[in-house]
């Protein structure tokens, strides 16, 4: 059975169930029907015999039977016998012979020449008469149950046809119900065999379970395709980003080896090499962090004094900002605390302030704000620098996205800072958004839950 397809299994069980329930209902109908008919005819015989008794009188030395009373009614034959058992009034059905008077007062069934009869006898003495009379009712049992035996035979003959129709119907219904499953299998195979990640099941709208499953599969395929595309883009971006500084380092080394005549010339090359090596090293550590983030890195959360942490970072960044004559203004509420990963929060602040300084205007200012709002900490890092145009805004959170690499004064970024900031905020259960206008400045707003 396990080797059969689900469609055939459903058909098999459905047909079996139909057969059993048809047999059960027919047997019930047959037996209960016969009982009912038997009960009805027994009741009829008893009633007629009692009525018959009321029509018999002993008058003027003679037994008198009311001639208006019919001795054949509703298939029941009525007759009367004297004490010696001789028929004195009424009829017996053709083909029935009374051998012995049945026991009194109850319906009995008698077989004669392969035919069944119901008999009911009653001993009765008319008022004033000295002897006992026997009144008898006879009816043909087959007559009563005929409908049911015909029905039974007909049903048995019809049963195989009914079963064939049920099996065919069941199979067709199963085929119809499983058509979407076939589509799901075909799509999955298309994706596996042909490497075509864009294939979708796309079932027409419906609310049944298989359609819900198909929609979930389509959503899963969407995610797989996205993940695959991102992976491809990420790999090509990474190799590109790593290749550039490596190429510069190699060519600078070659140049120095071949051309540097003095220590100063060699030092000049070494400084360039060191700058690019630094960029390479920071790129590699950012990539490592993002790779760990992708692998569901576990945050090392602890209770932090956020006010002090933010102040320390602002102090450090202020020294770098001074080189561009940028002032870092602070509006940090005292005694702010948060349960978070310290290293990650430091990266978030450093990246945002570093960008604000990097893309801020000379002599401008950067404002760092931190305040408590209910169960959250709300922060803002804003600058009055070059800003970001609306068409670039939605993309700045994408890995390796740079509005214009030439805008980066030291060409030190690689477009990985903001994706990391966004990941850190979201990994803590918070969020981040940006408001910016070109030439006027940008402000990054973030919200982090306190614990």
The contact set with ligand ADP (CB under 6 A) reads: 355-356, 359, 383, 385-388, 396, 401-403, 407-408, 413-418, 442
Give the shortest CB-320-to-ligand ADP separation in angstroms: 14
Give the shortest CB-425-to-ligand ADP separation in angstroms: 14
Residue nearest to ligand ADP (CB): 413
Element of type H or E holding 139: strand 133-140
CB distance 365 to 383 below 8 Å: yes
Give the shortest CB-354-to-ligand ADP separation in angstroms: 8
370 or 416: whose CB is closer to ligand ADP?
Answer: 416
112 or 437: whose CB is closer to ligand ADP?
Answer: 437
Give the shortest CB-338-to-ligand ADP separation in angstroms: 23
Give the shortest CB-373-to-ligand ADP separation in angstroms: 23
79 or 442: whose CB is closer to ligand ADP?
Answer: 442
361 or 450: whose CB is closer to ligand ADP?
Answer: 361
**192 φψ region: left (φ > 0), alpha (ψ -120 to 50), beta (else):** alpha
CA angle 271, 276, 282 (to 5 degrees): 125
Give the shortest CB-364-to-ligand ADP separation in angstroms: 11
407 or 450: whose CB is closer to ligand ADP?
Answer: 407
First to last CA, the chain: 57
Beta strands 62-65 and 56-59 are antiparallel
Give the shortest CB-436-to-ligand ADP separation in angstroms: 7
**363 φψ region: left (φ > 0), alpha (ψ -120 to 50), beta (else):** left
Element of type H or E holding 64: strand 62-65
310 or 416: whose CB is closer to ligand ADP?
Answer: 416
Own/partner contacts of 182-190, CB < 8 Å, gap of 24 or more, are 183/214, 184/210, 184/213, 184/214, 184/217, 187/217, 187/221, 188/217
144 or 434: whose CB is closer to ligand ADP?
Answer: 434
φ and ψ of 187, to 5 deg: -65, -45
316 or 398: whose CB is closer to ligand ADP?
Answer: 398
CA distance 309 to 244: 35
105 or 439: whose CB is closer to ligand ADP?
Answer: 439
Residue 8, C-beta contacts closer than 8 angstroms, at least 6 positions apart:
171
Give the shortest CB-418-to-ligand ADP separation in angstroms: 3
Beta strands 327-332 and 365-373 are parallel
Give the shortest CB-189-to-ligand ADP separation in angstroms: 40
Beta bridge partners of 110: 117
How many beta carbons lie within 10 A of that of residue 3, not counting itself? Answer: 6
CA distance 258 to 252: 10
């Amino acid at each position: 059975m396990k080797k059969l397809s689900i469609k055939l299994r459903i058909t098999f069980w459905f047909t079996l169930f139909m057969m059993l329930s048809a047999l059960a209902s027919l047997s019930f109908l047959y037996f209960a029907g016969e009982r009912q008919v038997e009960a009805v005819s027994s009741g009829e015989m008893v009633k007629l015999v009692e009525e018959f008794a009321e029509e018999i009188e002993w008058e003027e030395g003679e037994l008198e039977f009311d001639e208006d009373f019919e001795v054949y009614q509703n298939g029941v034959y009525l007759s009367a016998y004297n004490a010696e058992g001789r028929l004195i009034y009424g009829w017996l059905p053709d083909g029935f012979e009374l051998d012995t008077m049945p026991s009194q007062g109850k319906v009995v069934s008698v077989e004669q020449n392969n035919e069944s009869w119901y008999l009911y006898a009653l001993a009765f003495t008319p008022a004033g008469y000295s002897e006992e009379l026997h009144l008898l009712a006879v009816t043909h049992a087959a007559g009563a149950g005929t409908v049911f035996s015909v029905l039974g035979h007909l049903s048995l003959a019809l049963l195989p046809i009914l079963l064939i129709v049920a099996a065919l119907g069941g199979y067709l219904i199963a085929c119809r119900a499983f058509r979407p499953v076939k589509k799901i299998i075909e799509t999955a195979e298309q994706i596996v065999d042909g490497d075509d990640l864009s294939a979708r099941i796309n079932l027409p709208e419906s609310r049944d379970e298989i359609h819900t499953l198909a929609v979930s599969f389509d959503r899963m395929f969407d995610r797989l395709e996205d993940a695959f595309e991102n992976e491809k883009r990420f790999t090509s971006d990474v190799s590109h980003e790593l290749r550039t500084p490596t190429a510069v380092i190699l060519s600078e080394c070659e140049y120095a080896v071949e051309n540097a005549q003095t220590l100063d010339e060699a030092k000049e090359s070494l400084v360039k090499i060191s700058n690019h090596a630094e960029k390479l090293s920071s790129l590699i550590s950012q990539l490592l962090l993002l790779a760990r983030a992708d692998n569901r890195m576990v945050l090392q959360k602890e209770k932090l004094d956020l006010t002090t942490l933010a102040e320390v970072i602002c102090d450090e960044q202020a020294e770098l900002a001074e080189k561009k004559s940028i002032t870092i203004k602070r509006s940090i509420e005292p005694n702010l605390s948060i349960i978070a990963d310290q290293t990650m929060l430091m990266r978030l602040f450093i990246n945002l302030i570093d960008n604000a300084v990097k893309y801020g205007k000379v002599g401008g200012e950067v404002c760092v704000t931190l305040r408590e709002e209910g169960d959250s900490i709300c922060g803002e890092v804003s600058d009055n620098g070059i800003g970001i145009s609306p068409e670039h805004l939605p993309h700045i959170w994408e890995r390796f996205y740079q509005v214009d690499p030439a805008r980066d004064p030291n060409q030190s970024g690689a477009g990985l800072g903001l994706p990391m900031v966004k990941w850190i905020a979201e990994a803590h259960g918070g969020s981040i958004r940006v408001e910016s206008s070109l030439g006027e400045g940008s402000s990054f707003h973030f919200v982090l839950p306190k614990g």
